[in-house]
């Protein structure tokens, strides 16, 4: 082994040694996961989770996770770990999601709670610190939630992140740092990043419009004006409704009872509405007036937005129309590199075999469908032949049945 390889191994081992892993769950010990995860009893009809690798997978043991098993159900389950604070440290939340049912409407996100959560009564109303992960519903909602609690109020991210919508396993990672920056990764690739203060409405804006400033009187901010050279056509004015000249007075019309008969009014096909001159670009347009900015007296910086105390519970609080989502490889740590390596060692090792297995299953299913179709074709063909035999026609003059006719 060369010196470069040894150095890489050394730094990897050092990183793992320095990393603090607050929570890790891979469901590698069979039914013992039930001792670590608690189902909520807030509702009596919650959907049930089961441990499975699904219909296709990269490794039947390593890919086992919690799968939603009942359609059109709410789900609520959580796991507790030793409380900690991320003050002064990065917080990394990571897990894998596989919508192998190609979900049409339902959540695939996790929630992080404080230690005072009553797990038996966890529900959609339970206050959480962080809500992170994919949410899909119809053709419009295909996004990654990043909702952070600040001063007991949930604040959704202002940016929009599109989630993965295929049926394969994907790795979702959220990183919050002490310098108030963040990253969102999907499959160990950065999808979005920035500053917490800029991309959430936690605080009032740093600057506001100067309330004493006034727009100059000669400032023209109208982009388009009426064309002064445009003239209304002479034949433009037509009434909107006209008498129906084709109408005839009913034979039983009684003027004494009903009054003098008048033909009904109909929509005038020549009516074009109110004439308006066409619009042209305003030669005096100066654009939107930029109001001078001043410091916002109500703004006060807060350098602890990223930080939470007594982080102690991770939970799945979901609604799914079509069940089948698998959650696995949960990780909460303070080390970004450790999380990336963990993702490569779990999701990264099984994603390609998973796709190959799915491709093989798809091809085999197509073969079975073709075989069924050929069988149905032969049966229809034979029935037609038998029908012609029974028709009593002379065999020598019988028309040969061709497959093309079917």
Annotated binding site: 109, 111, 128, 135, 317
Asked if residues 206 and 299 have their Cβ atoms less than 8 Å apart, the reply is yes
Residue 371, classified by CB atoms within 10 Å of its CB into exposed (0-12), middle (13-18) or buried (19+), is: exposed
Q: Are 336 and 178 in contact (CB under 8 A)?
A: no
Q: Which of 337, 361, 313 is nearest to 22 (CA)?
A: 313
The annotated binding site for an alpha-D-glucoside is made up of 109, 111, 128, 135, 317
CA distances from 166 to 23, 103, 177, 355 (A): 28, 9, 30, 11
Q: Quote the radius of gyration of the chain (alpha carbons, Å).
A: 35
**Residue 376 and residue 274: Cα distance in Å, rounded?**
65
Nearest to 94 by CA among 133, 135, 53, 38: 133
3-state secondary structure of 399: coil
Q: 15: closest CA among 346, 333, 347?
A: 333
SS3 letters across 284-316: CCCCCCCCCEEECCCCCCCCCCCCCCCEEEEEE
The CA distance from 194 to 329, in Å, is 26
Phi, then psi, of 188 in degrees rounded to 5: 60, 25
CA quadruple 172, 140, 154, 81: dihedral positive or negative?
A: negative
Between helix 3-18 and helix 336-345 the angle, nearest 10°, is 110
3 state DSSP class of 52 = strand
């Amino acid at each position: 082994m060369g010196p470069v390889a040894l150095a890489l191994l050394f730094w990897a081992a050092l990183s793992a040694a320095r990393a603090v892993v607050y929570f890790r769950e891979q469901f590698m010990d069979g039914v013992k996961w039930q001792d670590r995860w608690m189902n909520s009893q807030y509702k009596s009809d919650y959907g049930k989770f089961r441990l499975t690798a699904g219909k296709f997978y990269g490794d039947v043991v390593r890919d086992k996770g919690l799968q939603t098993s009942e359609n059109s159900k709410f789900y609520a389950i959580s796991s507790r770990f030793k409380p900690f604070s991320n003050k002064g440290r990065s917080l990394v939340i990571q897990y894998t999601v596989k919508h192998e049912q190609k979900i049409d409407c339902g959540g695939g996100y996790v929630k992080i709670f404080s230690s005072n959560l009553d797990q038996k009564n966890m529900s959609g109303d339970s206050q959480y610190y962080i809500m992170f992960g994919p949410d899909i519903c119809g053709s419009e909602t295909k996004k990654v939630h990043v909702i952070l609690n600040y001063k007991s109020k949930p604040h959704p991210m202002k940016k929009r992140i599109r989630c993965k919508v295929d049926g394969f396993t994907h790795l979702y990672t959220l990183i919050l740092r002490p310098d108030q920056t963040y990253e969102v990764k999907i499959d160990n690739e950065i999808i979005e990043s920035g500053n917490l203060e800029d991309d959430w409405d936690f605080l009032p804006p740093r600057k506001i419009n100067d309330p004493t400033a006034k727009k100059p009187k000669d400032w023209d901010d109208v982009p388009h004006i009426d064309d002064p050279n445009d003239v209304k056509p002479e034949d433009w004015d037509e009434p909107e409704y006209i008498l129906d000249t084709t109408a005839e007075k009913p034979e039983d019309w009684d003027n004494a009872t009903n009054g003098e008969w008048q033909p009904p009014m109909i929509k005038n096909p020549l009516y074009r509405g109110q004439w308006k001159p066409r619009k042209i670009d305003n030669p005096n347009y100066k654009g939107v007036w930029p109001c001078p900015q001043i410091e916002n007296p109500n703004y006060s910086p807060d350098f602890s937005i990223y930080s939470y105390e007594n982080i102690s519970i991770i939970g799945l609080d979901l609604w799914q129309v079509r069940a089948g989502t698998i959650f696995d490889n949960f990780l909460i740590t303070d080390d970004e590199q450790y999380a990336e390596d963990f993702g490569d060692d779990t999701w990264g090792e099984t994603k390609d075999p998973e796709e190959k297995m799915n491709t093989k299953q798809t091809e085999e299913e197509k073969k079975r469908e073709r075989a069924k179709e050929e069988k149905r074709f032969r049966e229809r063909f034979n029935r037609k032949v038998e029908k012609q035999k029974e028709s009593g026609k002379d065999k020598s003059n019988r028309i040969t049945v061709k497959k093309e006719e079917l």
